[in-house]
Chain A
Amino acid sequence: AQRVTQPEKLLSVFKGAPVELKCNYSYSGSPELFWYVQYSRQRLQLLLRHISRESIKGFTADLNKGETSFHLKKPFAQEEDSAMYYCALRSSGAGSYQLTFGKGTKLSVIP
């Protein structure tokens, strides 16, 4: 069975400090991994996905298959980054978006 673990429920950092939101997964196949973000009173939205290797809003995430991790990083946190962040996994070859989510990490950026 696949599983996504986000060990931190809450992460507080000062503005301008580096941020790392941890995500570990358990899956026997080749996973597709995503980060979703939910700002206050807004809908869940895709932040980034590992297959595109992009940087969105200064965030990056690298899939490390050896450590089964997909940590989200940003070198300098901004106040507007305060939100709930969810790591999610999709089993490969799936014809639909059956995502397995982590419990989420609430990021609080202190001004």
Chain B
Amino acid sequence: EPEVTQTPSHQVTQMGQEVILRCVPISNHLYFYWYRQILGQKVEFLVSFYNNEISEKSEIFDDQFSVERPDGSNFTLKIRSTKLEDSAMYFCASTRWGGADSPLHFGNGTRLTVT
């Protein structure tokens, strides 16, 4: 069964540095997402992306965050200047369609540690 893949599995960075988290969604999927989970807290929606543009974003997704689909397969999340509170597990996800009959497929996540 095809899977969403994320790299790296663990990223350590210093406060103020830029970081790029990478995802390869399932190949025939059209909608892409980033979620995050701070340790001990809820999984939170960050952003959805469709047709090469952001379709929805949460309050968490401020100017420090950006997403890009640089080619036909990768989907990236960039954090421009990381803060300690950005430390979390970041999950990429994709769906074939936007409706509820098209399940959301998650990647294994990237654990970001900001020191």
Contacts and interface: CB of A to CB of B under 8 A. Distances in A.
Given A43-B109, A44-B91, A97 B43 contact: no
A40 interface: no
B55 A95 contact: yes
B42 A103 contact: yes
Contacts, number: 62
B93 interface: yes
Q: How large is the interface on A (under 10, 10 to 19, 20 to 34, 35 or more residues)?
A: 20 to 34
A81 interface: no
Interface string B22-37: 0000000001010100
B48 A90 contact: no
A43 B107 contact: yes
Interface residues of B, number: 28
Contact of A43 (B41, B50, B55, B108): B108
A52 B101 CA distance: 8
B91 A90 contact: no
A32 interface: yes
B8 interface: no
A74 interface: no
A8 to B, nearest CB: 15
A96 B41 contact: no
Contacts of A95: 50, 55-56, 98
Given A43-B109, A101-B42, A103-B42, A96 B56 contact: yes
A102 B42 CA distance: 6
B100 A90 contact: yes
Contacts of A99: 35, 43, 45, 104
A100 B46 CA distance: 11
Interface of A: 32, 42-46, 49, 51-52, 86, 88, 90, 94-104
